[in-house]
Amino acid sequence: MFCYHCQEAKKNKVCDTAGICGKKADVSSLQDLLMFSLKGLAFYSSRAEAFDLVSDKTHHFMAKALFSMVTNVNFDPADFVNLIDVAVRRRNSIRKKFLAAYQLKHGAEFDETLPEEASWQYDEASDKDFIAKGETVGVEKDKEGLDEDVHALQECLLYAVKGLGSLAVHALEMGVEETEQYRFMQQALDFTLSKNNTQDEVLNMLLRCGELGLAAMGRLNQANSDKFGEPEPTTVYLDTWDRPGILVSGHDLHDIEDLLAQTAGTGVDVYTHDEAIAAHAYPALKKYFNLVANYGGAWQDQKTQFPKFNGPVLVTTNSIQQPKKTYQEKLFSTGMVGWPDVPHIEDRKPGQRKNFSAIIELAKQCEPPEPLTDGATTTGYGLQALTALSDQIATAIEANKIKRIIVLAGCDGRHKERRYYTELAEALPEDALVITSGDTKYRFQHMDFGMIDDIPRLLDAGQINNFHGIIAFLQTLQQKMGLSELRQLPVSFDIAWYEQTTILMMLALFALDFKHMRVGPTLPPFFTANILDLLDRRYGLKGIDTPENDVAAMMAGE
Ligand code: SF4
Helix, strand, or coil (residue 450)? coil
Percent of the residues in the chain that have a pLDDT greater than 70, as a whole number:
100
Q: Please indicate, yes or no, whether residues 243 and 267 belong to a single structural domain of this protein.
A: yes
What local confidence, expressed as pLDDT, does residue 58 receive? 98
**516: pLDDT confidence band, cut at 50, 70 and 90?**
confident
Give, for ligand 1, the residue of 8, 30, 159 to mutate: max count of ligand atoms closer than 8 Å to Cβ: 8
282 and 330 co-located in one domain: yes
Tell me what pLDDT residue 337 has. 93
Q: Is residue 119 part of a domain?
A: yes
Q: Of 226, 249, 277, which residue is a domain's last?
A: 226
Q: Tell me what pLDDT residue 290 has.
A: 97
The domain tally of the chain equals 3
Residue 295: give its domain's CATH number: 3.40.50.2030
| CATH code, domain with 191 | 1.20.1270.20
**Atom number of ligand 1 nearest to Cα 28:** 6
Q: Does 416 reside within a domain?
A: yes
Same domain, 402 and 294: no
Return the best residue to mutate from 1, 2, 3 for the ligand 1 pocket (most ligand atoms within 8 A of CB). Answer: 3
Distance 555 CA to ligand 1 centre (A): 34
Which mutation among 15, 68, 139, 155 tests ligand 1's pocket best, with the greatest number of atoms within 8 A of CB? 15
Q: Which of 304, 338, 364 is the last residue of a domain?
A: 364
Q: What is the pLDDT of residues 458-503, one digit of tens each?
A: 999 999 999 999 999 999 999 999 999 999 999 999 999 999 999 9
Beta pairing, strands 245-249 & 269-273: parallel
Residue to substitute in 11, 14, 21 for testing ligand 1 pocket (most ligand atoms within 8 angstroms of CB): 21
CB-based contact 502:155 (threshold 8 Å): no
Strand segments (E) across 173-268 = 234-237, 245-249
Give the Cα separation of 330 and 175 in Å (integer): 30
Say whether pLDDT at 318 is over 80.
no
Is the alpha carbon torsion for 204, 210, 215, 219 positive or negative? positive
- What domain range is 453 assigned to? 381-555
Is 15 marked within a binding site? yes
91: phi then psi, degrees, rounded to nearest 5: -60, -45
Q: Are 43 and 62 in contact (CB under 8 A)?
A: no
Burial 417-430 (b: 16+ CB within 10 A, else e): ebebbebbbebbee
431, amino acid identity? D
Ligand 1 center to 14 CA (angstroms): 8
User: Is the CA virtual torsion 528, 532, 534, 539 positive or negative?
Assistant: positive
> Residue 230 and residue 53: Cα distance in Å, rounded?
38
- CA dihedral 220→222→228→234, nearest 10 degrees, is 90
Who contacts 89 (Cβ-Cβ below 8 Å, separation ≥6)? none
Residue 182 sits in the same domain as residue 202: yes
Per-position b or e across 95-108, b if 16+ CB within 10 A of its CB: beebeebbeeeeee
Kindly report the pTM of this predicted structure: 0.96
Mean pLDDT, the chain, whole residue set: 96
411 is in an annotated binding site: no
Q: Is 205 in the same domain as 261?
A: no
> In the predicted model, is pLDDT for residue 317 greater than 90?
no
Looking at the fold, whether 219 and 240 belong to one and the same domain comes out as no
Please check whether residues 56 and 142 belong to one and the same domain: yes
The tens digit of pLDDT for each residue in 398-431 reads 999 999 999 999 999 999 999 999 999 999 999 9
| Length, in residues, of the chain | 558
Atom nearest to 6 CA in ligand 1? 2
Residue 74 has pLDDT above 90, yes or no: yes
6 annotated to bind ligand = yes
| pLDDT band at 558; cut points 50, 70, 90 | confident
Q: Is 209 annotated as a binding residue?
A: no
Whether 103 and 128 map to the same domain: the answer is: yes
CA 246 / ligand 1 centre spacing (Å): 29
Last residue of a domain, one of 200, 226, 252: 226
Same-domain check for residues 207 and 244: no
| C-beta separation of 238 from 378 below 8 A | no
Nearest residue (CA) to ligand 1, atom 2: 6
- My answer on whether 218 and 262 are in the same domain is no
SS (H, E, C) 375-432: CEEEECCCHHHHHHCHHHHHHHHHCCCCCEEEEEEECCCCCHHHHHHHHHHHHCCCCE
User: Which of these, 7, 113, 98, lies nearest to 58 by C-alpha position?
Assistant: 98
**Ligand 1 center to 67 CA (angstroms):** 15
Pair 221, 238 in one domain: no
How much is the pLDDT for 491?
97
Which is the closest atom of ligand 1 to the Cα of 525?
8
Let me know whether 157 and 302 are in one domain: no
Whether 371 maps to a domain, the answer reads no
* 338 domain-assigned: yes
* Domain assignment present for 394: yes
- Measure 6 CA to ligand 1 centroid, in angstroms: 6
Structure confidence by residue, pLDDT tens digits, 164-210: 999 999 999 889 999 999 999 999 999 999 999 999 999 999 999 99
pLDDT of residue 532: 97
Expressed in angstroms and rounded, the spacing between residue 232 Cα and the centre of ligand 1 is 36
Identify whether 432 is part of a domain: yes
* 252 and 353 Cβ atoms separated by less than 8 Å: no
- In the reported structure, the alpha carbon of residue 272 is separated from the centroid of ligand 1 by a whole-number distance in angstroms of 26
Look at residue 3 and tell me if it is in a domain: no
Judge whether residue 322 has pLDDT over 80.
Answer: yes
The CA R_g of the chain, rounded to the nearest whole Å, is 23
**Residue 374 located in a structural domain:** no
What are 364-410's pLDDT values in tens digits?
A: 999 999 999 989 999 999 999 999 999 999 999 999 999 999 999 99
Q: List pocket residues of ligand 1, CB cut-off 6 Å.
A: 3-6, 8-9, 15, 19-21, 23, 71
